[in-house]
Structure formats: structure tokens, C-alpha cells
């Protein structure tokens, strides 16, 4: 690619691409490719000017320039990003519609003679009048009836200017609502799209190798195990699994899949493992499926939205009766029409959904993906927050601090064996074991065998004809009845209590204990204190760790209550008990074992780099960088409820005043219609603004 550097400062560069025109697809492709470069922090591509503004690491200028020189739209590595959506196509389409609508109105007002303006008003009024008649025939008292009546009566009175203004403002409001809805759904869908970088590829020789997703082609075979997300539309080639398809089909029960069954990108394997035959090169179809799911899902409707819609329809008869009473009392058609021109329905039905969708969009600025408006409402009301410990209150990347071998085994051999079992399963402690083995240069390819993940605490496999298990103390000693080698009880009792422990056993004998240092997030204590200030009355930590480890962490973070050595079902039972007591409960977790509790909570919040099944089941997903995202989410949710209540007060107060002034004859119908529609537009535009100031945005 040829380009010219137009402006440059340390860590930031604006380049002009040497091409006469850039399509939206090319802009999306270049922006997605830039974001994937390791030295690029932020990139914005402007297709109208063929410019790219890139923020990069200060010492990587030459790397950026070299990458840009090599860039080509036709390169296969670049084409791998062709399915990435940016939302610029939606913005362009609605910008053009908005400009066309406003310019068309101005042109008709300035250049068309009065008779032609009247004819235009009559023609464009037909759909509104027909919709109003439809409501009348079906005996439905909806806002369309008021719109049709007010526009129809204005035409009968030959008040074409008022009719035209009412229709213009209605169309403008509809366009802004549609734009905001589409944009919010687009933001939400892109946030929920797949985030899978690498997959296990089955080679012709039967081995498994970890490869980038972009290298997978149709016809390749990939392996997916319990808790893993299916990255591409595929067909089951080997194995039997149950798949959670709730995000795409709404099915609450996992679906069994056998050889020959089709599986889809973004669904999650709940049990079993399988080899998949890839049918589709890119998982981009997941985006379209999510968009369809969101648009059809009732999850977008919060109780506040439903209440607003119901109230809007219920107020329509009162507006009609009020208009009739004014006419009977005054015998003045103008006053009656002034009342008819004003209703509460438009603002209520328009502003409330816009406020909710805008809040969902703003939540994404804080790296939080909210799957429906009702969850924001629940977050605002929540009085209890339950935290998982590992990867949630602690950092998502713990490290191996020590390996304590037993039974005469070597430290390195035990770490090597543990990494062999753990590398297939997405959990922060598993990642720590695998990373420690890699750092020590311990290879374990020859040890690979079939592994089974047991959601109730660990992994089992067979290596060299012996059963090998790794997991919690409960799993290893109570469920599997493994024993501590003779003469090593004192060594076992001396294990450092400040660490979390993974127990590795071979053939029923404890072989090693892997000590995991899982440091507390530096912001955790402050976040819990801030949540209390925001109205959360109870904070709880649940963990499978020992009592000593749990007590130490709970004291540091400052939770009100903690429970140690809990099973997945214990977490879910605790959440259900809290809800039964009347509490609105948020559950925050990241692992497969948190999934039942996430489902049981009023709002389940998953960490974005945790297990795929946890993200799929959760109602909200937050990034893993900073727990302050949870504080921001609470503030956004509370700000949304405050805005909804203020919208109610404004709509009822302002429109009630217009009705009174119209009934008294102070405001003519045209002025009432203009003020009513302008107020509807104003409250809608306000509903689209951010709830929190810019300085509160996370960087």
C-alpha cells in the first residue's frame, strides 16, 4: 500500500492512503486489520477522506510503517478480517436518510407553490390516515389512531402546513429511533461476536495442534471439548456431545449432537468432546445470527419500557375523551383539535426504548456487553452482589508459585503432566499451569491422551495405563479417595496456606501439589466500598478454595460474607436462597463451575476471557481488565432509571400543560402540534445522550 504521512506526533500518526476512493468494506477491512496488529493501540479509518488515524506504541513507529507498506486488500491474511462489522454502513445509510428528509422539507417549503405543497401533504398523509382507520376498525386505541385523526382533521380544515409539520416531525422521530435501535443492536451484536483466536486442529496423522483460527479452512477437522465454544459452522465428525444453543435458538435444554449433526458458530459444548468437520471458513455468520436474535428477543424489553408502552396505549382513550369534552363544552373545533394534537403516547413510546438502548450502547463504552434492557434495570435495583474468587476478585492470570512433589516424583515431571491435562480447558488456573510448563521448556506432546473434564471439580485422564486426576482437595481426596503417600503427612500439612492448591494424583496416590499464587486485584477493595456507596447492601465471596485461603482473601477485599470449599451447585443454591429472601442478586464469575449460579442470579455477569459457557449463559459480560467496569455498569443502570423517571415527569407535565393551554384557547392547533412534536423530539434526543460524563469513561 502507498500512503502519505499527513501528521505525526509521538505514538500517533495520520496517513493519507493513495487511492481515489475507499469503499465501506475496504474501510472496515483496514480498520479490523490495524486493530489486530500487536503494536497498534487504536485505529480509526475515514472512508470519505481515505485517511487512517493510528495510535501505536511509542517505540513501534517503524513496525507500523512496515506493516502499512505490506498491506494489501487482496492478501489472504487480510481477507481473514473481511467478516468484521464496524457499524459504519449503518451510520452512512441513516445519515443520508436524515439529510434527505431535512433537505426535502426545506426544498418543498422554499420552492414549491402552495397548491403543490398541499398536494404533497395529502399524498403523504394517506399512510397515516389508513393506519388510523385500521386501528379504528380493529377497535384498537393506539397512538396511530391519534396521529391519523389529527392529520386527517388538519387536512379537512385545509390546514396543510400543520399536517405537513406533524408528519415531518413524526417521520424525523421514527428515523432517529430506528437509527439508534439499529446502532445499539449493531454495537451489542459486535460485542457478543466470537472472540476465539486459536483452535485445536486435527492433523491427518491424528495429532492435535494449536493453530490460529484464520488458518482453518473448509474441510479441516477441529477438536472442541467441554466448556469450549464452537468457532465455525461445522458438522460433527466424531464423538457425541450436548450443545447449548440458547443464544441462537432460545432452547433452554442442551441439544445432543452425534456424527452427522450440524453445529453452529458461537454455541457451546456443555458435555463431552468431539471432532468437527468445518463447513464454513469464517465465523462471521455468527454476527448476523446474533443481530436476528437480538431484534426478536423480548430481553430488550425492560419492565420500564413495557410499562411505558402500556401506559401510552392506555392514555389514548383519555386524549380522545378530553378532546370530545372540550368540543362539547366550548363548541370550538380549534380548541378540540389543539387537545387532539397533543398526546402522551409519542414521547413515552419513543423516549423509553431509546433511553434503554442508548444505555446499553454506553455500557459497551465501559467494555460491558448487556444482552437486554431488563438486566440494566435489575442491576440498578440489586442489593446483593456475589463474587466468585478466582479470576474475578483476583487477577485472571494467576501464576504457579511452587510445585511440591510427593511419592518420590520429580517437580518438573509432575508440572509437565499437569500441563498436559490442563491445557485443554479454559480456566485461569489451568492457564497458569500451562504457562509455567512452557516457561520451563517442558514439552508434553507425547503424553496426550483422552481427557475428561468433570464440572464438579477437576480433570481425569489415563497416561501410561494409569489413571491421572487433577483438581481440588474435595475432588481428589473425597470423591476419588486418593491417599497421601506414607510418611509424607507432615509435608502435606506444611503446604503454604496463602496459595490456592491444585492436587495431582496418579493411580490413587497424591503425586504433587501445585501452589497457585492468585494475587488480589488492586482495585477490588475500593470497588466493593464504592458499590456500598451506590446502594449495594451485601457483598459475598464464594470459592472452592480452603477455609484458610478464603478467609485471607475475604479479609483483604472487605466482603460482608464468604463461603469456602463450595461446589458449583452450592453457589447456585446460595444465589437461589438469597433471591427467595427477596433480594435482587448479581452473580459475577468466570468459570464453567460458575455457570449454574450465573443462571440462578437476577443478573449473571461473566468475565469476558473466562469460560465460553459462562459468557454464553451470563446476561452481561464485562472485560477482565478492571473491576471498576462493574461500578460503571451500576452507575449507568442507576442513571438510566433516573432518566426514565425524569422523562415520565417531563412528558406528563409538559404535555399536560399543552392540553390545558389548548383547551383554554391560548394555543392554536398548529402551535400545540409543533410544541408537542418538538418536545417529543427533544426528550428523545436527550434519551440518546450519555448518562455519565466523559471523564468517567474507562481508557
pLDDT tens digits along 60-83: 888 889 889 989 888 876 776 665
Please indicate, yes or no, whether residues 109 and 74 belong to a single structural domain of this protein: no
- Confidence label for 615 from pLDDT (cuts 50, 70 and 90): low
- Confidence label for 196 from pLDDT (cuts 50, 70 and 90): low
Last residue of a domain, one of 577, 600, 624: 624
Tell me how far apart the alpha carbons of residues 507 and 476 are, in angstroms, rounded to a whole number. Answer: 11
Q: Which residue has the higher pLDDT, 427 or 193?
A: 427
Characterize the bridge pairing of strands 466-471 and 458-463: antiparallel
Please indicate, yes or no, whether residues 174 and 45 belong to a single structural domain of this protein: no
Question: Residue 661: is its pLDDT beyond 80?
Answer: yes
pLDDT in tens, 253-295: 678 898 999 888 777 787 788 999 988 655 445 555 555 555 5
Closest CA to 594 of 386, 299, 303: 386
Q: Which residue has the higher pLDDT, 505 or 546?
A: 505
- Residue whose entry in the numeric block shows the C-alpha cell 477490588: 524
Question: What local confidence, expressed as pLDDT, does residue 158 receive?
Answer: 84
Q: DSSP letter at 193?
A: S
Last residue of a domain, one of 59, 84, 109: 84
Question: What local confidence, expressed as pLDDT, does residue 610 receive?
Answer: 58
Query: What CATH number did the domain enclosing 556 receive?
Result: 3.40.50.1000
Average pLDDT, the chain: 81
Q: Which three cell numbers stand for residue 197?
A: 483466536
| DSSP sequence for 361-409 | HHHHHTTEEES-HHHHHHHHH--EEEEEIIIIIB-S--EEEEEEE-TT-
Poorest-pLDDT segment among 98-107, 179-188, 350-359: 179-188
pTM as predicted: 0.63
Please indicate, yes or no, whether residues 177 and 137 belong to a single structural domain of this protein: yes
Question: What local confidence, expressed as pLDDT, does residue 203 receive?
Answer: 86
Q: Which whole number is the average pLDDT over 163-185?
A: 74
Note whether residue 676 is domain-resident: yes
- Residue 278 pairs in a beta bridge with 234
Please indicate, yes or no, whether residues 346 and 474 belong to a single structural domain of this protein: no
Poorest-pLDDT segment among 288-302, 404-418, 465-479, 613-627: 288-302
Poorest-pLDDT segment among 370-384, 435-449, 521-535, 680-694: 435-449
- Residue whose entry in the numeric block shows the C-alpha cell 450440524: 262
Q: Which residue has the higher pLDDT, 300 or 503?
A: 503
Q: Which whole number is the average pLDDT over 294-313?
A: 57
Note whether residue 304 is domain-resident: yes
Question: What local confidence, expressed as pLDDT, does residue 15 receive?
Answer: 93
Please indicate, yes or no, whether residues 408 and 507 belong to a single structural domain of this protein: yes
Closest CA to 513 of 585, 438, 406: 406
Find the domain containing 202 and state its range.
198-282
How many structural domains comprise the chain?
A: 5
Tell me how far apart the alpha carbons of residues 473 and 503 are, in angstroms, rounded to a whole number. Answer: 6
Q: DSSP letter at 215?
A: G
| DSSP sequence for 538-572 | EEEEE-SS-HHHHHHHHHHHT-SEEE-S--HHHHH
Amino acid at each position: 500500500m502507498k500512503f502519505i504521512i499527513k501528521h505525526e506526533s509521538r505514538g500517533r500518526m495520520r496517513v493519507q492512503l493513495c487511492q481515489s476512493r475507499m469503499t465501506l468494506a475496504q474501510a472496515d477491512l483496514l480498520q479490523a486489520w490495524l486493530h489486530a496488529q500487536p503494536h497498534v493501540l487504536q485505529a480509526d479509518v475515514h472512508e470519505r477522506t481515505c485517511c487512517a488515524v493510528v495510535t501505536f506504541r511509542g517505540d513501534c513507529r517503524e513496525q507500523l510503517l512496515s506493516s502499512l507498506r505490506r498491506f494489501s486488500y487482496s492478501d489472504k491474511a487480510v481477507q481473514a478480517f473481511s467478516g468484521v462489522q464496524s457499524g459504519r454502513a449503518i451510520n452512512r445509510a441513516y445519515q443520508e436518510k436524515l439529510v434527505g428528509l431535512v433537505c426535502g422539507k426545506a426544498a418543498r417549503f422554499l420552492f414549491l407553490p402552495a397548491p403543490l405543497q398541499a398536494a404533497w401533504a395529502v399524498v403523504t398523509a394517506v399512510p397515516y390516515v389508513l393506519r388510523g382507520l385500521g386501528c379504528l376498525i380493529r377497535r384498537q386505541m393506539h397512538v396511530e389512531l391519534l396521529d391519523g385523526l389529527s392529520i386527517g382533521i388538519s387536512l379537512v380544515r385545509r390546514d396543510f402546513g400543520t399536517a405537513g409539520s406533524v408528519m415531518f416531525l413524526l417521520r424525523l422521530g421514527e428515523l432517529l429511533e430506528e437509527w439508534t435501535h439499529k446502532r445499539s443492536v449493531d454495537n451489542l451484536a459486535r460485542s457478543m461476536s466470537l472472540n476465539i483466536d486459536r483452535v485445536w486442529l486435527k492433523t491427518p496423522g491424528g495429532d492435535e495442534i494449536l493453530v490460529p483460527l484464520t488458518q482453518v479452512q473448509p474441510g479441516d477437522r477441529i477438536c472442541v471439548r467441554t466448556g469450549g465454544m464452537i468457532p465455525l459452522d461445522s458438522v460433527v465428525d466424531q464423538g457425541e456431545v450436548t450443545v447449548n444453543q440458547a443464544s441462537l435458538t432460545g432452547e433452554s435444554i442442551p441439544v445432543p449432537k452425534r456424527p452427522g449433526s450440524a453445529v453452529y458458530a458461537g454455541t457451546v459444548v456443555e458435555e463431552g468432546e468431539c471432532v468437527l468437520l468445518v463447513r464454513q471458513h469464517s465465523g462471521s455468520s455468527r454476527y448476523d445470527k446474533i443481530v436476528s436474535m437480538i431484534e426478536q428477543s423480548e430481553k430488550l424489553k425492560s419492565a420500564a419500557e413495557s410499562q411505558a408502552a402500556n401506559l401510552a396505549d392506555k392514555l389514548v382513550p383519555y386524549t380522545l375523551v378530553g378532546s370530545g369534552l372540550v368540543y362539547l363544552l366550548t363548541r370550538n373545533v380549534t380548541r378540540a383539535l389543539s387537545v387532539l394534537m397533543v398526546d402522551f403516547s409519542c414521547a413515552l413510546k419513543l423516549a423509553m426504548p431509546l433511553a434503554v438502548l442508548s444505555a446499553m450502547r454506553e455500557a459497551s463504552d465501559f467494555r460491558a456487553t448487556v444482552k437486554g434492557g431488563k438486566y440494566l434495570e435489575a442491576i440498578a435495583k440489586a442489593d446483593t452482589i456475589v463474587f466468585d474468587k478466582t479470576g474475578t476478585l483476583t487477577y485472571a492470570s494467576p501464576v504457579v508459585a511452587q510445585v511440591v512433589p510427593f511419592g518420590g516424583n520429580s517437580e518438573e515431571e509432575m508440572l509437565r503432566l499437569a500441563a498436559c491435562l490442563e491445557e485443554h480447558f479454559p480456566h485461569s488456573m489451568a492457564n497458569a499451569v500451562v504457562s509455567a510448563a512452557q516457561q520451563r521448556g517442558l514439552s508434553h506432546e507425547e503424553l496426550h491422551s483422552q481427557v475428561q473434564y468433570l464440572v464438579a471439580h477437576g480433570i481425569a485422564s489415563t497416561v501410561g495405563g494409569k489413571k491421572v486426576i487433577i483438581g481440588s482437595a474435595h475432588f481428589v481426596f473425597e470423591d476419588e479417595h486418593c491417599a497421601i503417600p506414607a510418611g509424607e503427612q507432615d509435608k502435606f500439612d506444611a503446604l503454604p496456606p496463602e496459595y490456592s492448591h491444585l492436587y495431582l494424583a496418579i493411580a490413587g496416590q497424591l503425586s504433587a501439589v501445585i501452589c497457585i499464587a492468585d494475587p488480589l486485584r488492586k482495585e477490588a477493595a475500593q470497588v466493593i466500598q464504592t458499590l456500598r456507596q451506590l446502594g449495594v447492601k451485601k457483598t459475598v465471596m464464594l470459592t472452592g478454595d480452603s477455609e484458610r485461603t478464603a478467609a485471607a482473601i475475604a479479609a483483604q477485599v472487605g466482603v460482608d460474607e464468604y463461603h469456602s470449599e463450595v461446589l458449583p451447585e452450592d453457589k447456585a443454591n446460595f444465589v437461589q436462597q438469597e433471591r427467595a429472601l427477596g433480594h435482587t442478586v448479581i452473580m459475577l464469575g468466570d468459570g464453567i463451575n460458575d455457570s449454574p449460579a450465573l443462571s440462578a442470579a437476577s443478573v449473571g455477569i461473566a468475565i469476558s476471557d473466562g469460560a465460553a459457557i459462562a459468557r454464553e449463559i451470563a446476561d452481561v459480560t464485562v472485560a477482565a481488565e478492571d473491576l471498576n467496569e462493574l461500578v460503571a455498569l451500576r452507575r449507568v443502570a442507576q442513571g438510566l432509571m433516573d432518566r426514565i423517571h425524569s422523562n415520565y415527569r417531563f412528558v406528563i407535565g409538559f404535555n399536560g400543560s399543552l392540553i390545558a393551554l389548548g383547551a383554554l384557547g391560548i394555543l392554536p392547533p398548529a402551535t400545540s402540534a409543533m410544541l408537542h412534536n418538538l418536545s417529543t423530539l427533544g426528550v428523545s434526543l436527550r434519551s440518546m445522550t450519555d448518562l455519565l460524563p466523559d471523564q468517567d469513561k474507562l481508557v
